[in-house]
Structure 1
Amino acid sequence: MTALFLVLRIVAALAIGAAVVGQIVTSLLFWQREGLTDIPFRLTNFFSFFTIESNILATVVLVMAIGLTLLKASPRWFSVLRAVATTFMVTTGIVYNLLLRNIELPQGATLDWSNEILHLWGPLYLLLDWLFAPGRHVLAWKHIGTIVSFPIVWAIYTLVRGPLTYDVVTDGPWYPYPFLNPETSANGYLSVAFYVILIAAVIGLVGAGVIRISRLRRGPGAAHAIHDEPAAARAAATA
């Protein structure tokens, strides 16, 4: 099982990393063809997408997992980091496939195979890895706070930065996702607030699900879970 996931993690890290790099290169070529010269602004925008940040984190986590597997180490903090990456990637997959998949994108700006890895296959693999890969620690419910902290900061950053930007292509402020733009949303900030709350709920529920999976004493990956909590906490794991 360990050898299998070592290979799967290498393949997944290469695929997700290649997808991020491939999309950067595609975007740079597209901006060049369009005669856009504000490259620093556009690169900042690129790395402001929650999708890109989640996939970069996933790549880093997978590379770290490969290294720790070779070292035969399974620190508890790394299980927390895996839980964070899994939650972000699964949320990315859910939000994209429910809200964004049918939104038309500029022809030539999106690399199709990269898009599928970043929004579908990457999230599916991270979930598979969390479910079945060895070395998963039993996590406390308090780690939900760790999971949701970055999305909160990201949402604040996005909503504060948006009105301060100007995109010459759209002749208006720049937001990473259309449902976060109060100028194009049906009910302005009311619509934006609805989607922010909805996504926060999804992240919270997914994070709770990820932690719950780690606490199962039966089911996917339970036989390989690391129970290093006090006895009382272990007894409550099935509660």
Structure 2
Amino acid sequence: MRPTFAILRTVVAVGIDAAIVGQLLVSLDVWAGVATGTNLVNFFSFFTIGSNVLAAVVLLIGAVLLLRGDGADPGWFTLLRACAVTYMVVTGIVYNTLLRGIELPQGETLGWSNEVLHLVAPLYLLVDWLFAPGRTPVRAKRLLVVLIFPLAWTAYTLLRGPFVVDEIRGNAFWYPYPFLNPHASDGGYLTVWFYVVLIAVVIAAVGAGVLWLSRREPARTAD
């Protein structure tokens, strides 16, 4: 079982990296002649990109751990893995319920990359959490650690948005997702905060569920 999941983790990590690079190359072509530096920062400001980068790193570390040992994973890695699983599951939920079919400000969307980052990778991270060997229990109070990145990302996005010029669409602001854009609805910031609270609840619920699952079964150490 350990070699099998090591291979799966490596394959999915490489697929995630390829999907990110593929979308970036398409976006760079769309950005030709405009402020590439700003748009590059914008590209890596998507929650999807940050979550997938973390997921790829976690999967590669996890593959090495599976091949090097036959016991439980170190606690720091299980917590990091729990963070990646939470963010990726939330990415899948939010995209497929709120954003699928909506054009995002990343340039032209690369179809296969989009599916890898928003569907294939989130599903695999969940399956890996449920069935891969080595997982150790994570205490419920660690949920606060899981929430650090989403809270920091939300603050960064809302504070940065009004000061970034969107040269592609000609706006004096830039937000990665329409539900965080106060100019996208009549409700303005009231609508934004509604979605922020809603998604925060979803992240907390998913994170709590991920940690709960870690305590329901002992770490698997089968070969």
- Counterpart position of 1:179: 179
Relative to structure 1, is the Cα distance of residues 106 and 152 closer, same or farther in structure 2, using a 3 angstrom cutoff? closer
Amino acid in structure 1 at the alignment position of 2:220: H
- Within a 5 Å distance, the mapping from 1:7-86 to structure 2 comes to 7-32=7-32, 35-36=33-34, 38-72=35-69, 74-86=73-85
Residues of 1 paired with 2:106 and 2:181: CA distance? 22
Partner of 1:119: 118
Q: Distance in 2 between matches of 1:162 and 1:104?
A: 18
Report the alpha carbon displacement of residue 177 of structure 1 after superposing the two structures with TM: 0.3
Matches of 1:91 and 1:146 in 2, distance apart?
A: 16
Q: CA offsets, 1:116-136, max 9 Å, x none?
A: 000000000000000000000
Distance 1:209 1:192 in 2: 25
Deviations 1:81-109 (A, max 9, x none): 00000000000000000000021358971
* CA displacement, residues 182-207 of structure 1 (integer Å, 9 cap, x when unaligned): 01123000000000001101100000
Q: How many residues get paired?
A: 218
Shift of 1:67: 1.5
Q: Which consecutive segments of 4 or more residues in structure 1 shift more than 3 A?
A: 104-108
8 A contact 2:137–2:219 mirrored in 1: no
Aligned partner of 2:196: which letter? Answer: V
**Larger radius of gyration between Structure 1 and Structure 2:** 1
- Asked which structure has the greater RCO (Cα within 8 Å, sep 6+), the reply is 2
Q: Say whether the 8 Å CA contact 2:86–2:203 is kept in structure 1.
A: yes
Taking structure 2 as the reference length, the TM-score comes to 0.93
Unaligned segments of structure 2, at least 5 residues = none
- 2:101 is aligned to 102
**Secondary structure at 1:224's aligned position in 2?**
coil
CA distance in 1, matches of 2:174, 2:107: 19
Q: How far 1:153 sits from its partner (Å)?
A: 0.6
Match of 1:230 in 2: none
Q: Is the 8 A contact 2:134 2:219 kept in 1?
A: no
Q: Letter of the 1:214 partner, please give it.
A: S
Percent identity of the aligned residues? 56
Corresponding letter in the other structure for 2:78: S
Relative distance call for 1:107 and 1:77 in structure 2 (3 A) is: closer
CA 1:87–1:107 in structure 2 vs 1: closer, same or farther (change >3 Å)?
A: closer
* Deviations 1:163-184 (CA, angstroms, capped at 9, x unpaired): 1111122222000001101011
Work out the CA distance in 2 between the residues paired with 1:60 and 1:106: 25
